[in-house]
Structure 1
């Protein structure tokens, strides 16, 4: 469990992929590829672009692109609104790509979990492992 401030928690996952940053960048920023490993979406790689991620479970995440440095950094909001305020989530997901001699180290950080959101925090810790496993499969299929 990572603590980003006295108020919020952060999920961090690092994984090295045997692929160049350009290949990972495509999978992180092309909507048809994002759909394969993450969720249905209307993503566009432009700062300020508002988009949705739509989960198979019926939920919708409201997102906005915050930062883009091609083949290096992608950051966007990851917000979920629920009728029960306790389940509302306001977070930021940041992907950082670092070239290595074997390929690319991908660091994913989701910050903004309140201390009373232990279920969402644990769900994210588990969920990102699965998403990144699917990302590996998508990358294997890309030329």
Structure 2
């Protein structure tokens, strides 16, 4: 019996944000706010809901909500299908919110990058800090 083990890599971004978790949760789960910091979407906060994230680059990600714990955890698939299967990405993004004395520790982990997916991995490593910066701008604007 042959067993195939595929190593995958993860991208993790953590940031302490000076806002309560309830406010950050709204920005993570309300479609009009998600569109402001991440991408256009048809998100709904319900386990099993399938939605798309549409990027300015013309592509779309196929997503499905996997887990929701209001104000503390949100997880969904983050899948990209390409004409060239080598560029297909099957990953999962999980946001964890932990209250702190000055706000909330927001942790994002994207898992599932195969070793040969250097471009997708590099894109995620470069992209998520920018998304977080956008998120912080949105949070500063909303009540």
State the TM-score, normalized to the length of structure 1.
0.96
Cα distance in 1, alignment partners of residues 7 and 60 from structure 2: 25
Instruction: Show structure 1 runs of 5+ residues with no match.
Output: none
Partner of 2:119: 119
* Structure (1 or 2) with the larger CA radius of gyration: 2
CA distance in 2 between partners of 1:7 and 1:61 (Å): 23
Identify the residue that residue 47 of structure 1 maps to in structure 2. Answer: 47
* Superposition misfits of 4+ residues, deviation over 4 angstroms: none
Q: Aligned equivalents of 1:65 and 1:15: distance in 2?
A: 23
Deviation at 1:119, TM superposition (A): 1.0
1:7, distance to aligned residue in structure 2 (A): 1.4
Q: TM-score w.r.t. structure 2 length?
A: 0.96
What's the CA shift for 1:6?
Answer: 5.2
- Counterpart CA distance in 2 for 1:46 and 1:7 is 30
SS of 1:115's equivalent in the other structure is: coil
Unaligned runs of 5+ in 2: none
Name the CA distance, whole Å, in 2 between partners of 1:117 and 1:6.
Answer: 12
Contact 2:6 2:114 in 1 (8 A): no
Q: Secondary structure at the match of 2:125?
A: helix
